[in-house]
Amino acid sequence: MTLDLELTPNIAHLWQLWGNQNVGLSQLVESQELLCAAWKWRDDSRIQFQRGKRFGGEAQALLYEAVNAADAVVTWNGDKFDIPHLNREFLEHGYSRPKPFVSLDLLKTSRKAFRFPSNKLDYVAGRLLGVGKMAHQGHQLWVDCMAGDEAAWKVMEEYNRKDVYITEQLYDRLLPWITKYPNLRLYDQHEGCPRCGSNNLHKRGFKATAVSKFQQYQCQDCKSWSYDTKRIDASTMC
């Protein structure tokens, strides 16, 4: 499942508009919460969208159901942003902890494997896909949605959906570089590529450890590398 959340801003009383702000809890007027969410299943062409509970939607309930059905969740900066905020929403709305899943945060992949001038989703998508995030009027869009402006909500929905679309497209491009990826053979019980499920595997040399050697493969569809777990040679010394 690919996921993207949009949140409301924290609203607080401030004494000045410049310098380092230290906002006390007594100054906090309204706390941040889920504005809306979009998500997509890998085998479904539809991108689902829902407003948060306060804005007349069922996002929390539907997301809880989706997360409990997901083996992996793909995000951009989800480990620091989307997932912790989603967990808070579940906790505050009385849901128990959802089923554990594998978090595939593509921002971490981008930072670890490459040296882009910027690791923002808009920049990396522009470089790799030729298309970036949807332009909009900025902060005012969030303000208008919170005020119930339906025209603003149409823009927000398109913006949220597009973030999911480009995140999934980047997942396809970055798949060979993702570390700690769940082995599809354990979920679908097939003998193909452990990342994409393709049977289009070509032998590409061997993977050697200190004492063993294994047949190595490259998938000709997703370009990921894998190897057999049955060793074909072993050393008696190390």
Predicted confidence at residue 190, as pLDDT, reads 67
Integer Cα distance of 238 and 230 in angstroms = 19
Report how far residue 124's alpha carbon sits from residue 135's, in angstroms, rounded to the nearest whole number. 16
- Tell me the CATH class for 2-177: alpha beta
Q: How far apart (Å, rounded) are the C-alpha atoms in residues 70 and 162?
A: 21
- The model's pTM is 0.84
The pLDDT, as a whole number, for residue 186 is 67
Residue 165: predicted pLDDT: 98
Residues, the chain, total?
A: 238
pLDDT of residue 188: 65
Residue ranges, the chain, pLDDT below 50: 238
The pLDDT value given to residue 236: 53
215 - beta bridge partners?
206
Residue 58 confidence (pLDDT): 97
pLDDT value of position 55 = 97
Q: What pLDDT is stored for residue 235 in this prediction? A: 62
In which residue ranges of the chain is CATH 3.30.420.10 found?
2-177
Question: What confidence score (pLDDT) does residue 187 get?
Answer: 67
DSSP string, 7-40: EPPPEE--S-SSS-----GGGEEE---EEEEEEE
- Side-chain half-sphere CA neighbours of 25 within 13 A: 0
Rounded to whole angstroms, how far apart are CA atoms 50 and 86? Answer: 14
State pLDDT tens for residues 62-82.
999 999 999 999 999 999 999
